Structure 1
Amino acid sequence: MVFCFLVLLLLGSSAVALLSKEPGRVSGTGSSSSSPSADEIALLSAKSALSDPSGSLASWNASTRLCTWRGVMCSRRHPGRIVALSIDSMGLGGRVSPFLGNLSFLRTLDLGNNYLVGPIPPELGRLGRLRLLNLSVNSLEGGIPAALGMCTQLTMLSLAANQLQGEIPSVVGSLHNLALLDLQMNNLSGEIPPSVANLSSLQALALTFNTFSGAIPPYLGRLPELSELYLAGTNLSGRLPQTLWNLSSLTALSVAGNNLTGTIPPNAFCNIPRIQNLYMSNNQFHGHIPSSIANASNLGSFSAGQNYLSGTLPSNIGGLQRLQRLVLSYNFLKINEPKDWNFMTALTNCSELLDLELDFNDVTGELPSSLSNLSTSLEKLALSGNQIFGVIPQNIGNLIALETLALELNNLTGPYLSLYNNNFWGDLQLIGNLTQLNYLYIGYNSFNGTVPNTLGNLKSLLEFDLSYNKLTGSIPASLLQIPTLSHESRLSHNLLEGPIPPEFGNLKSVSIFHAESNRLTGEIPSTLGECQLLQNLHLQNNFLSGTLPNSLIGLKNLEILDLSNNSFSGQIPKFLGNISTLIYLNISFNKFTGEVPTFGVFSNASAFSIHGNAKLCGGISDLHLPPCSSELSKKKAKKIPVTPLVVSVIATISVLSCLGIYLIWNKRRSTTSRNPSTAPMQNHPLITYSQLAKATEVLKLQTPGAAKSFIAECKVLRNIRHRNLVQTITACSSIDSKVGDRHLSLLQRVNILFDVAYALEYLHFNGPTPVVHCDLKPSNVLLDIDMVAHVGDFGLAKILADGCSSFQPSISSMGFRGTIGYAPPEYGAGSIVSTHGDIYSYGILVLEMITGRRPTDNTFDGTSGIHKYVEMAINNSVMDIIDMDMALELETIGGLSSKTRQINSLISLLHLGLLCSAEMPSNRISTKEVIKELHVIKNALVQGEVSGR
């Protein structure tokens, strides 16, 4: 059974239950006669009115038995007679044929979720046995035929999401067996006909998003079986009938987005004990929320925002143990005295609460400490636009699932804000208003945008932690000029760029400073030496350069200094050995040259690390560096070839394999001189043969070209460093190889595409020399524990000649590059390697991530591929080609607007993949344009998630 996802979303369990009553599929034998039966003729005639671009109805032909045709179910008792026709979601176009009215044994007719146009043929009224009719999610026009009133056996009638017009025909009242009537999202008008009162079996009525007139008929509240009533956005006016408040069978009522007036009666919730979802937002209701709400013990969602409700919230609201969403924004609810906050304490009993919205009401006073004791499942807390003053409760960090905290436009002050290790996102502009803040802990979230200059307004700030977010831009000088900062300051693991401001010297009382794993550039300012109380300084994994300033000798209390993975140059300053407090120094993977000191921290090999600095000499004997005599150094270099150990932090096994291949190749080279043109690679950390042998026992030693590929990878990885590229290190590390497949949400997939795009931008434009990866594909994109993507495997990479354009020849020889399906077509034709080739591979990667299909999928024949597959479907049947996990995720999204944003984001991503994978290189967009488009998609996606909550 496949049914319109919009119907299932709005009608929930009732729709599922009703659908489950349909008869199971049976395999009929078809007609024993060689001549076509009446049902076969009717179906072939109906097929002639349809367009079938994907060939879904290819089996509908005279050479196969009728009862084996796709979507056809035949009767057990009447061979050859069709009892069910289910051809929904097949991308069919054309019209609904009147010949379907000849299928006199038909009990189920499901044509939903296609692209059908034209009117509903009145001949369908001849289907006297029909129980289910689903024509939803098409583009059908005209009115609802009165002839359908003759289908008196109907239990389900869904015409939702079409372009139907006119009034609901009064003959609908003759469908006495009808349990579901779904007419939502059309252009129907007029009043709801009185004949609906005759539908005594009706369980669900969905009329949302039409343009009816008049009031809600009172008789709807007298339908004995009615449990779900959806009237949102239907232009209805007047009061909510008292009969609805007395309808004991009611489980869901949605009247949002109308012009309804009146109050919620004091005893409103006394007679609807089964109510689970009540949506009343965006009307003109006034008065108080009655205390009888506590009687609705099954209530999961109560939304009454954008009305004129007043008074205080009843304190017994905490009795709603199943409450998940309480949305009361934009009203006149009053919270002025401490006792008015009693409802907040009561809500701490609601362990399933996900969403609490009280923004833009008449709320004053201080936030109660009980706020921190709300459900640990709480995802959204909105209190903005009120007159709240005082401090934010210190333990608000207990709300570990919180994704949205809206407190702007209040008068909050106070010393402490901790949102540490949650899922918050958005910018930090609000925080600049909390001028009395002493402690700011918002690390391990997803905040984005720049670090605002307004943080300099926090003149009482003692500590801050902004680490592990997605902050961009430069470090604002105002943040480093806060005079009270005294202990820890953390900016690490963001996307910050630009130089370290000279105002760093103002942090005279800070003892710990973290800014590692960003994109900082330039030199260390000499003012840093003024931070005389600094104990720990972490600047590793950036793009800092230049020599270390002599002023660092002023750091008399320095204990830990980590400057690894940058581009510092010059000699290692000897004054570092004179800092008696220094217990650990890491300057690995820079460009330091010359002699390594032997005193102070340099006298203990375990206290410092200098790996990855190719031109160092001297030092203590444990380092095994050559003496600083130039002649002896050169001699040693010729005698002792050193093999580098290049290990991906995530993909250890693959790179270790390359190491072993190179080791054996190099050994054979030295004894047999088979490859005299390949010079030995020198100046890399020494490791023992036994270490290599143990680590590479799984190698395929005879792999052709393995050594050449390894050397190419070493050349590329030697000088490039980026947070989204796999790095070269000298120690093995790995994660559990048995980690199961992870389901990635659409937002996570977009973040991964961001990471890969940033990596390509760095390779193509921002690295020491332009690099073309030549083998971008999913298996070479590795995810770390924080779901950050890293591009690896540079065995086929090409370093472009200095100053050349992307179409110029590379330094090394040509040949086919890449993997079939991901390599651009011009490579197969012998064209020159270019950055446009990587863009093509990236486009295929995008399409694969959205569709879940590999470019080599055997469903693509020799004349098509994933690009053509997506191109044909993108304007017609996008939902048919997206990955199943994302389709299921889409079905769980609440709200039409949020769902629309999600679908539009999917379409935009598919368009992006098509642009990148264009056949002609000149038609492909650049990485900068890719990143710009991803920003637009992500912003729309994030806004959609917010509006859906």
Structure 2
Amino acid sequence: MAIEAWFMQENGEDQRLPHQKNPPDNFSGGIPLEMSNLSNLEILSIPSSSQTGRIPSVVFNMSTLKVINFDDNNMFGSLPVGIYLPELEYLNLCSNQLTGGIPATFGNLTRLQVLRLHKNNLTGTYLKFLIAFETKISGVLPASIGNLSSSLQEFSVFGCNIKGSIPAEIGNLSSLEYLLLERNQLTGFIPSTIGKLKSLQRIDISINKLEGYIPLELCQLSNLGGMDLSDNMLSGSIPVCLGELKSLRNIHLGFNKLESTVPLKLWNLNDLLRLNLSHNSLSGNLPSEIGNLNIIFDIDFSWNQFSGNIPSSIGKIQSLASLSFAHNRFQGSIPPSLGNIINLQSLNLSFNDFSGLIPKSLEELKYLEHLDVSHNRLEGEIPTGGHFANFTAQSFMQNYALCSETRQQFPPCGKVHKRSRSKNVVSLKKYILPPIISVILAVTILLIVRRRKSNKYAPQREISLHLAWRRISYRELEEATKAFGESNILGSGSFGSVYGGLLSDGLNVAVKVFNLQSEQVRAIKSFATESQVLSTIHHRNLIRIIGCCSNTEFKALILEYMPNGSLEKWLYSHNYFLDMLKRLNIAIDIALALEYLHHGHTFPIVHCDLKPSNVLLDKDMVAHVSDFGIAKLFGEGESTAQTKTLATIGYMAPEYGTEGIVSTSGDVYSYGVMLLEMYTRKKPTDEMFGEEISLKSWVSHSLDENRITEVVDTNLLGREDENFSAKKQCVSSILAVAMQCLNDYPVERISMREVVAGLEKIN
């Protein structure tokens, strides 16, 4: 049943339609039957006019009607059983004296968006499904929700900007099987009365602003198969009793403030298919009982504080397709038993404290497509068999002592025994290197002074800004870029130019040279800002810095080379094309990068200039956000800052363009513009836009009118396409997420955490 309906709150607000006017005071009596003779009538609105009598049944068979509004009259009787209103979008019969039930034929109102029936005597209705999807309902959930039909099976109101709390009276809907309230603005606590919904099979209240504990009463729902409470502000621990709900198949508690350990009973849910506890503050060790989840295919424990070793029993879960333990405190060696998970497609163990070798057993995983073991203390040779040849160097960067005979980014392994070498490295770092470094620094300083005196016109020796970066001389850069020749230019802008280069060790790089001649102060400031930011961030979807070269006459950053160029090139060049799924994956990559900058760092970082030309694509078409020249680093407790530096017109948030106020919400706005651009293939500065219409209002109007095919890139969506309806719904959902980023008021915009959750759900 496709009915989209709503029972509005009893708040006495003026709910008048924009086109609605009060009728004359003397317009009263009954509705004449002759009304049905008005052919092509689209709006029938007689509010607050003291109409009496029954509503003629002929009114409910006027096939052209789009709006029926009899609000605040004295009509009585029951609603007719036979209804034929194929175009009806708005039905308001509230504040009358209607009795009886809601006819089952309401289910035929496929275009209905708003149904207002409150302040009547309707009881014992036959309504089974109440669904509203991404409509502009707004308002709150009224306590009278508990008066809905006892036969109601599905209550789905998602993406409708509903505010306020979930009323306790929702527990009166005894037959409810599906409660779906995701992507709203709900606040307060999860009512314990939900435990009375004994028939409930699925609850999804994700992407709201709910707080407090997860109520123990959820454990009374013996038929519950799916539970998604993610992306709220829930705190406390995971209820132990959830492990007794043997019917559970999907649990998503990510993006909350949960703490403590995972209850041991949870590992007894043998039929669990998905378990996502990411982005919380959960801690403790993983027990061997994790191997009991023998049919699960998705586990995500990333961004927590788990520690200890990964138990070898995890290798028993041969159904597992995706496993992420990233951004935790796991230690010890990577268990070789992971090689027994024959269906594993994605494995992320990055940003932990793993040591030892990368198990050769991982070469046996024939379906493994994504691997990330970066930012650990791993050592020894990187395996070469299986799919390892397909994994980029990023998958292994920032480790203790990894080596490779085939990867230029890592030193060759040689003939030294790996374990003895690791001990020698420790001794070298602790006892030998410090005095040697001191001598080298003294000699280097002396040589620099002498060189400056002997050749004041030659570019001076570089000054390393960060100990982890490579020291790359001007001469080496000159050779790598063919003397910074025009044939090596990858791009240029107000800051300077970017050159492609090949270093002496065979590494392809991008050399960003800052223009110190025309705008020296701005260039130096941009260089300093970008250096500061890039030295503190480490994320798969952010550009990685390799080194720098800096002196009074020359400043350059050496960055990883992105062979597939910018997102802008792929959107607008005629010989390049991104399909719907690739665009979505790129959008998620960018969102993950911003989520890390805003929420995953010790302090927020605002990019300030997000646009397609600042998104680069590696050889696997993974997106990397780049160009941090005007970024802002916030200190503790800061959430906004002011700047005189303007970003790119069309992408700036309103408060940035008018007042120079930058915040993470400003990045969200820029992201929303770019997301619209990705699916419409229209720049915000396109000549079709001006004072009367913008990219934002153009898309917003198409969503309101359900005419998105008029704005979506014609290469993506055609009526002759297979699965046209499904593709249209997918794009509509993506554009709806973008619109939630584009609110004129910063506090009303969703966060990048909400963006990530919304897009991953669509994906």
What one-letter code is carried by the residue in structure 2 that aligns with 1:412?
L
Q: 103, 115, 122: which one pairs with 1:381?
A: 115
Q: Per-residue CA shift, 1:689-719, capped at 9, x if unaligned?
A: xxxxxxxx99962443289979965851439
2:100 touches 2:121 (CA, 8 Å); kept in 1?
yes
What one-letter code is carried by the residue in structure 2 that aligns with 1:323?
L
In the alignment, what sits opposite 2:86?
A: 351
Q: 358, 362, 386: which one pairs with 1:623?
A: 362
2:96 corresponds to 1:297: no
Q: 12, 17, 21: which one pairs with 1:256?
A: 21
Number of residue pairs the alignment of both structures matches: 511
TM superposition shift of 1:326: 0.4
Distance verdict in 2 for CA 1:365–1:567, change over 3 Å = same
Distance verdict in 2 for CA 1:837–1:372, change over 3 Å = closer
What one-letter code is carried by the residue in structure 1 that aligns with 2:64?
R
Q: 698, 716, 735: which one pairs with 2:537?
A: 716
2:258 corresponds to 1:547: no
Q: 138, 144, 162: which one pairs with 1:426?
A: 162
In the alignment, what sits opposite 1:366?
A: 101
Greater mean deviation of Cα atoms: 444-453 or 549-558: 549-558
Measured in 1, the distance between the counterparts of 2:703 and 2:592 equals: 30
Q: 72, 75, 99: which one pairs with 1:330?
A: 72
TM superposition shift of 1:313: 1.3
Distance verdict in 2 for CA 1:758–1:332, change over 3 Å = farther
Residue 344 of structure 2 aligns to a residue whose secondary structure is helix
Residue 453 of structure 1 aligns to a residue whose secondary structure is coil
Residue 538 of structure 1 aligns to a residue whose secondary structure is strand
Q: Which runs of 5+ in 1 are unaligned?
A: 1-232, 234-253, 263-284, 626-631, 648-662, 683-696, 722-727, 741-755, 783-789, 809-815, 825-834, 860-878, 895-929, 939-949
Measured in 2, the distance between the counterparts of 1:623 and 1:586 equals: 14
In the alignment, what sits opposite 1:447?
A: 184
TM superposition shift of 1:351: 1.6
Distance verdict in 2 for CA 1:552–1:309, change over 3 Å = farther
Q: Per-residue CA shift, 1:22-55, capped at 9, x if unaligned?
A: xxxxxxxxxxxxxxxxxxxxxxxxxxxxxxxxxx
In the alignment, what sits opposite 1:461?
A: 198
In the alignment, what sits opposite 2:719?
A: none
Q: 569, 575, 582: which one pairs with 2:306?
A: 569
1:352 touches 1:377 (CA, 8 Å); kept in 2?
yes
Q: Per-residue CA shift, 1:887-906, capped at 9, x if unaligned?
A: 78999999xxxxxxxxxxxx
Measured in 2, the distance between the counterparts of 1:822 and 1:887 equals: 13
Residue 577 of structure 1 aligns to a residue whose secondary structure is helix
1:361 touches 1:385 (CA, 8 Å); kept in 2?
yes
In the alignment, what sits opposite 2:54?
A: 312
Distance verdict in 2 for CA 1:461–1:560, change over 3 Å = farther
TM-score normalized by the length of structure 1: 0.43
Measured in 2, the distance between the counterparts of 1:503 and 1:884 equals: 51
2:342 corresponds to 1:509: no
Measured in 1, the distance between the counterparts of 2:320 and 2:227 equals: 21
What one-letter code is carried by the residue in structure 1 that aligns with 2:119?
G
In the alignment, what sits opposite 2:266?
A: 529
Measured in 1, the distance between the counterparts of 2:669 and 2:226 equals: 42
In the alignment, what sits opposite 1:484?
A: 221
1:822 touches 1:844 (CA, 8 Å); kept in 2?
no
Measured in 1, the distance between the counterparts of 2:243 and 2:410 equals: 56
TM superposition shift of 1:456: 2.6
Distance verdict in 2 for CA 1:886–1:435, change over 3 Å = same
TM superposition shift of 1:357: 0.7
What one-letter code is carried by the residue in structure 2 that aligns with 1:380?
V
Measured in 2, the distance between the counterparts of 1:634 and 1:676 equals: 30
In the alignment, what sits opposite 1:704?
A: 511
Measured in 2, the distance between the counterparts of 1:364 and 1:295 equals: 27
Measured in 2, the distance between the counterparts of 1:605 and 1:298 equals: 59
Q: What does 1:1-150 align with in structure 2 at a 5 Å threshold?
A: none
Q: Which has the higher contact order (CA 8 A, sep 6+)?
A: 2
2:605 touches 2:664 (CA, 8 Å); kept in 1?
no
Q: Per-residue CA shift, 1:481-540, capped at 9, x if unaligned?
A: 341332322326644443444355365233223325533442443255375455134215
Q: 455, 470, 476: which one pairs with 2:207?
A: 470
TM superposition shift of 1:299: 1.6
What one-letter code is carried by the residue in structure 2 that aligns with 1:609?
L
In the alignment, what sits opposite 2:602?
A: 769
Q: Per-residue CA shift, 1:146-203, capped at 9, x if unaligned?
A: xxxxxxxxxxxxxxxxxxxxxxxxxxxxxxxxxxxxxxxxxxxxxxxxxxxxxxxxxx
1:538 touches 1:563 (CA, 8 Å); kept in 2?
yes
Q: Per-residue CA shift, 1:276-302, capped at 9, x if unaligned?
A: xxxxxxxxx3x3222221111222111
Distance verdict in 2 for CA 1:580–1:823, change over 3 Å = closer
Residue 477 of structure 1 aligns to a residue whose secondary structure is coil
Measured in 2, the distance between the counterparts of 1:534 and 1:501 equals: 19
In the alignment, what sits opposite 2:504?
A: none
Distance verdict in 2 for CA 1:608–1:884, change over 3 Å = closer
What one-letter code is carried by the residue in structure 1 that aligns with 2:224?
H
1:392 touches 1:417 (CA, 8 Å); kept in 2?
no
Residue 461 of structure 1 aligns to a residue whose secondary structure is coil
1:328 touches 1:358 (CA, 8 Å); kept in 2?
yes
2:155 touches 2:176 (CA, 8 Å); kept in 1?
no
2:229 touches 2:254 (CA, 8 Å); kept in 1?
yes
Measured in 1, the distance between the counterparts of 2:299 and 2:686 equals: 51
Measured in 2, the distance between the counterparts of 1:781 and 1:553 equals: 42
In the alignment, what sits opposite 2:324?
A: 587
What one-letter code is carried by the residue in structure 2 that aligns with 1:414?
S
2:344 corresponds to 1:606: yes
Measured in 2, the distance between the counterparts of 1:856 and 1:303 equals: 39
Measured in 1, the distance between the counterparts of 2:209 and 2:99 equals: 35
Paired-residue identity, %: 12
Q: Per-residue CA shift, 1:858-905, capped at 9, x if unaligned?
A: 99xxxxxxxxxxxxxxxxxxx9956456778999999xxxxxxxxxxx
2:304 corresponds to 1:597: no
Measured in 1, the distance between the counterparts of 2:635 and 2:512 equals: 26
Measured in 1, the distance between the counterparts of 2:71 and 2:258 equals: 45
> Pairwise CA RMSD of aligned residues?
6.2
Measured in 1, the distance between the counterparts of 2:596 and 2:248 equals: 34
Computing the radius of gyration from Cα coordinates, the structure with the larger value is 1
TM superposition shift of 1:451: 6.5
Measured in 1, the distance between the counterparts of 2:170 and 2:213 equals: 16
